[in-house]
Amino acid sequence: MVKILCLAALGLAALSQATKLHVNKGYITVDDAAVRKSINVSPPVTIYAGFDGSSNKERVKPGCSLEASWPGNYGDIYFGADNCLYDSNGSNINGQCCKSSGDLPEVRNPYYG
């Protein structure tokens, strides 16, 4: 019984470490999950953005990517319209912004379907 309670407490602690990532404009893909409003994530994550919203393909090359991380105690973070990452006070998190690169992989198109 004690082991079950300890495991349950560990599970709750892990859940409390999740951060809600909100998308301020458009859609993004986070670790191959399409995000249209918000998603619960734990750092680090790979964020893809800059998609062609008119594409009808299931997998496409994004316009940019960001290997994002932030303090684990953040409850909410925001992916801004400028493709940068912000905390709940509107401050950029460690200068993190989505960067363009010609050799990005095809990922799930958040505008598909």
pLDDT tens digits, 81-106:
999 999 999 999 999 999 997 889 99
The residue type found at 44 is P
Predicted pLDDT of residue 11: 46
**Under a CB-based contact definition with an 8 Å cutoff, are residues 99 and 49 in contact?**
no
How far is 39 from 23, CA to CA, in rounded Å? 9
pLDDT tens digits for range 34-75: 999 999 999 999 999 999 999 999 999 999 999 999 998 999
Instruction: Look at residue 24 and tell me whether its pLDDT is greater than 70.
Output: yes
Instruction: Name the CA dihedral angle for 19, 42, 110, 47, rounded to a multiple of 10 degrees.
Output: 110
How many CA within 13 A on the CB side of residue 74?
24
CA-only gyration radius of the chain, Å: 16
> How much is the pTM?
0.83
How many CA within 13 A on the CB side of residue 46?
11
Neighbours of 38 (CB within 10 A): 14
